[in-house]
Amino acid sequence: MDEPRLTSLSHGGGCGCKIAPGVLSEILKGSSQLPLPPELLVGIETSDDAAVYKLNDEQALVATTDFFMPIVDDPADFGRIAATNALSDVYAMGGRPILALALVGMPINVLSTQTIGRILDGGASVCRAAGIPVAGGHSIDSVEAIYGLVALGLVHPQRVKRNADAKPGDVLVLGKPLGVGIMSAALKKGQLGDAGYAQMLATTTRLNTPGPDLAELPGVHAMTDVTGFGLAGHALEMARGASCDVQIDWSAVPLLPGVRALAAQGMVTGASGRNWAGYGAQAVLPNGFAAEDRALLTDPQTSGGLLVACEPAALEAVLATFRRHGFGDAAVVGRVLGASSSPQLQVTSGR
C-alpha cells in the first residue's frame, strides 16, 4: 500500500517530542512521594538519566526507558536512532547494558507490517552492536508511530555517576557535537542534503560506549547525556544538582557541519523555543549573542553526547577515553563555578 513519510506522522520527532521542562516540572510538582527503599541509589530527585537500584555490594541495576516519534523517514534508521538514544541513559550512569525490551506503538492501518518490521530490525541491530538481546516488549495500535526501548544495565554501586555530583573547579567535556534538532527540522522541510543526513545519522547512531570506562576514572564526578532539553537544559540540571553555577564557553562547543547556517535560515524545532521558555530565566547570555546560537544552545539533541564533569587532573584521561572509543569530537566546553543558592548557566563568548 502507499505509505506516507514517517516524519509526516509525527507532530514532533526524536527527543524534540519531550514535554517542555517548565510544563514537566509543573506536572511532577503535585506527584506524591512514596517511601524510598535504601537500595534505590538514584530516583527522580535530580532528574537523572536512569533509576539505579543496588542489588548487592558489587552490582546495581540501571533501569530506564525512552521512546519517541520518527525523526527520519527511513524505517531502519528510525529504529537505530531510537534504540541508540534509549541505551545512552544506561551508559550515562556508568552502566553496561544487559538487555532491552521494545516499546512499539504503530498506526497499523497506515504503515505496512514490512515497514514496522524494519523499524524493529533497526533497533535490534543496535542492541546487537551493544551486545545485548531484545528480550521482549509491548505493542499497541497508535495514531502516531512510536518506538523505543526499556533498557537495563549493571554498574558497580560505587561507580554510579549521577548528574548531580559535579564539584566547583570541575571542567566540562562534551562527547558529541550539537545540531541534531536543527538537522531534523531541515530534513522535515526537505532542506537537508545527503551529506547532512549522513552526518546526522552517524552521530545519532553512535553508542555512548565511553560511559562505563569514564565512570571508572578517578576524578570523574558527574555525567549525563545531552538530549531533549539541549545543552543549556542538561547543564542547568547539573548545576542545580551540585548547587553551583556552571559556565559554558560557547566558542568551544562542537557543532555538526552546517547547522549554524541552517539555524540562521530558520531551521529550528519548536522544542528549542519551549526549552528556552522553561529555563531561560536561569541562563545568562553575553551581549549580542546571536539568535541562531541560542537556538543551538537549546536545540533538542536526539541520542546526544555525554556531558562529563571531572577535576582538571583527570581531563587528559577523559579525553583519551573518548578518543579510544572513536569520539574524536569530544571537547572541553566549560567549567563548574562556585556554590550558588540559585544556580545559573553562564554562557561566555560568541562565534
Active-site positions read 15
Radius of gyration of the chain (CA): 19
CA angle 138, 12, 99 (to 5 degrees): 30
Helix axes 113-130, 75-92, angle to 10 degrees: 30
CA dihedral for 253, 333, 350, 292, sign (positive or negative): positive
Q: What does DSSP assign to residue 301?
A: P
Burial label for 321, CB within 10 Å (0-12, 13-18, 19+), is buried
* H or E segment and range at residue 40: strand 40-42
Task: Give me the DSSP letters along 84-102.
Answer: HHHHHHHHHTT-EEEEEEE
Amino acid at 207: L
Backbone angles phi, psi at 238, to 5 degrees: -65, -40
How many Å apart are CA 133 and CA 126, to the nearest integer?
10
